[in-house]
Structure 1
Amino acid sequence: MNILLSPFIYVFFLTSSTLMVISSSSFFSIWLGLELNILSFIPMMNFPSETKKAGEASIKYFLIQSIASSIILFSAIWFFLYNSSALMSFLNLMMTTALCTKLGLAPFHAWFPEVMEGLSWINSLILMTWQKISPMVTLSLFYNSTFILMLALTSALVGAISGLNQTSLRKILAFSSVSHMGWMLTMMSFNSSLWINYLLIYFFLSFISCISFWFFNLNFLSQLFFFKDSSVKTLVFLNLLSMGGMPPLLGFLAKMYGFLVISKSLPVLMVLIFSSLITLFFYTRICLSCFTLSQENSISTKVSFKKSNMVANSLLMILSVVGLVPICILVY
């Protein structure tokens, strides 16, 4: 009974800590919410031990997050003790860097794909979605717009280029997350609240992708070549293309919010469009390769799939149809 109850306790603290950060009016309660968020997620990383690297991933996550939290607390203490204009800009850069490290933003992103590789799909979904809320909300309160814009453009390019040579689906989604964070922080640096809409769409698309990979026990690209159910394969690849921003899917609607915000700055918009095209390229390459290469010509290997059931296929189909809403709107 205690074993079954413990995950729900961690989920309760994970949810309440994020709500604490969102509704806080003091910096101390924000920092406390960030710490509770870390401490509640680390036990969850080891609970469904589907992967052998869960312990290693939780240690890496704890070390990176604790170092970033220490920098945040250090800069906050110095900010309140020595309130000078020259020091405030430096402390603001320190706090922004620490929060970007928590988010896994380039060039502080090296830990993020490695931690993702050691987690189950459910925990990977939490790391890519829910764990982004508290640092993003905290970062939106105080940041250096020029510094954030530089990190955001770097993150968009690095995340897109790094995903080209990956074979693990978790690492592909991790680098895609790094690229999407670049889009959101660019919108934030232009003082726009539309990054929240982008974040919600990204949450929904990540949920569909991770749940579909979890249902069918997909971990590597090589497994997609041996997946026999063409209808389910089509839905999975449709969601991947939506993650890449293929028009007119739901992911392209999120990019349209970015176009509306960043249209005044052509160089920034060109960098983001170039990074988005790279991301869409490796998603499209995956889809074309898996549909055009026959099963007989593929490398022979033993791949274990979970048995497809009607509930899983129906849920995936319903979620995918919701992702097709922009197509229906455009046709209408």
Structure 2
Amino acid sequence: MNLFFPPAIYLFFLILGTMISVSSSSLFGMWMGLEINLMSFIPLIINIEMNKKSTESAIKYFLIQAMTSSTIIFSSMFFFIFNGSLFLLSPNIIITLALCMKLGMAPFHFWFPEVLEGLNWINSFILLTWQKISPLIILSMIFHPKSLMVMALISAIIGAISGINQTSMRKIMAFSSISHLGWISSIMFMNSSSWMIYFFIYCLTSFILCLSFWFLNLNYFSQLSMLKNLNEKLIIFINLLSLGGLPPLLGFLPKWIAMISMKNSFPILIILIISSLITLYFYTRLCFSTFTLVFQNTTWIQKKTSKKNSSPWEFWHYFL
């Protein structure tokens, strides 16, 4: 399937939609930016080579995002027409729930791992990082405190527990993202702007991991044990442990900042720390298994294509 325009055009509108949402001073402008962002990401999901997984992911992503965007615009109309709450239902609650669903926070997280499973690693990185910028900034300005705090704690716990028995690296990254959203939302609840530092470091770590998985053509846990190069294993697992927040790695810095900003809310902090320890448990389990198990005979022949084995300098040709 050939797209009407080069992927670089859709990438430009993807960035434009985010900039419109971030810089807008009205709910309508924010909604319009979210819609531009959505409609430019769908062709990137389908990509030039169309397959069943990418098409299924595109349909699921479109349905969820369209539903949440319509809920946001309905809430803004609801707010201006009735000038406040109606039947004890605040528009901020509806907007908070819609934005949390758009981000993939628990308990509205069921679509997120399934969509991520059908994407390549470049689109996975975009979905894990860039697509969260607009909803997070809107959520930091308009949120219902109690609803946000409940969903943050549920996301931290479910994201940690659900990743334990996963064998797909994309699903591990998805549930890790859900767990990190719990931390970010908790910092927002404390009215602290340090969630931006947390999100930036998360994006940096995710970029290194997704790029490593793409260059090494890694999709499942069993493939990690077949890596011959020790340096490749070290790069992957240092970044995985950093993503989990193991000190003294970089990923521990944002969690340390979060703990300082939430020092007056000790019960919330304890729940978040326990969820982070669970995440670190299955990361270290992956690490030990990969360094100790060696498969002498592979059970399948790994297909190698010129696209997957491309050099790092060909990364930019993806968008041209």
Q: TM-score, normalised by structure 2?
A: 0.92
Taking structure 1 as reference, are residues 5 and 168 closer, same or farther at Cα in structure 2, changes over 3 Å only? same
Contact 2:160 2:279 in 1 (8 A): yes
- Give the Å deviation of 1:309: 8.7
Contact 1:42 1:58 in 2 (8 A): yes
Q: Secondary structure at the match of 2:6?
A: helix
Distance in 1 of aligned mates of 2:46 and 2:157: 32
Distance in 2 of aligned mates of 1:292 and 1:305: 26
Q: Secondary structure at the match of 1:248?
A: coil
Which residue in 2 is equivalent to 1:200? 200
Q: Which amino acid aligns with 2:78?
A: W
Distance in 2 of aligned mates of 1:249 and 1:82: 50
Which residue in 2 is equivalent to 1:301? 300
Deviations 1:36-79 (A, max 9, x none): 01001001101153864000000000000111111111111111
- Give the Å deviation of 1:214: 0.3
Taking structure 1 as reference, are residues 85 and 70 closer, same or farther at Cα in structure 2, changes over 3 Å only? closer
Contact 2:215 2:311 in 1 (8 A): no
Q: Which amino acid aligns with 1:302?
A: I
When the two structures are aligned, how many residues end up with a matched partner?
Answer: 312
Q: Which amino acid aligns with 1:39?
A: M
Distance in 2 of aligned mates of 1:171 and 1:8: 27
Which residue in 2 is equivalent to 1:289? 289
Q: Which amino acid aligns with 1:14?
A: L
Which sits farther off after the overlay, 139-148 or 183-192? 139-148
Distance in 1 of aligned mates of 2:21 and 2:88: 22
Task: Give the fraction of aligned pairs with identical amino acids, expressed as a percent.
Answer: 51
- Give the Å deviation of 1:4: 9.5
Distance in 2 of aligned mates of 1:121 and 1:88: 44
Consecutive unaligned residues of structure 1, counting only runs of 5 or more, are: 316-332
Q: How does 1:234-245 map to 2 (within 5 A)?
A: 234-245=234-245
Q: Which amino acid aligns with 2:113?
A: P
- Give the Å deviation of 1:227: 0.9
Which residue in 1 is equivalent to 2:43? 43
Which residue in 2 is equivalent to 1:166? 166
Q: Which amino acid aligns with 1:215?
A: F
Contact 2:216 2:309 in 1 (8 A): no
Contact 2:85 2:91 in 1 (8 A): no
**Are 1:29 and 2:35 an aligned pair?**
no
Contact 1:45 1:123 in 2 (8 A): yes
Which residue in 2 is equivalent to 1:215? 215
Which sits farther off after the overlay, 43-52 or 21-30? 43-52
Which residue in 2 is equivalent to 1:326? none
Q: Secondary structure at the match of 2:246?
A: coil
- Give the Å deviation of 1:190: 0.5
Distance in 2 of aligned mates of 1:10 and 1:92: 32
Taking structure 1 as reference, are residues 226 and 195 closer, same or farther at Cα in structure 2, changes over 3 Å only? same
Which sits farther off after the overlay, 54-63 or 82-91? 82-91
- Give the Å deviation of 1:260: 1.0
Consecutive unaligned residues of structure 2, counting only runs of 5 or more, are: 316-320
Q: TM-score, normalised by structure 1?
A: 0.89
Which residue in 2 is equivalent to 1:62? 62
Distance in 2 of aligned mates of 1:143 and 1:103: 14
Q: How does 1:246-257 map to 2 (within 5 A)?
A: 246-257=246-257
Taking structure 1 as reference, are residues 305 and 265 closer, same or farther at Cα in structure 2, changes over 3 Å only? farther
Which residue in 1 is equivalent to 2:189? 189
- Give the Å deviation of 1:299: 6.3
- Give the Å deviation of 1:117: 0.3
Distance in 2 of aligned mates of 1:23 and 1:148: 23
Please identify runs of 4+ aligned residues in structure 1 that moved more than 2 A.
2-5, 48-52, 84-90, 298-313
- Give the Å deviation of 1:199: 0.5
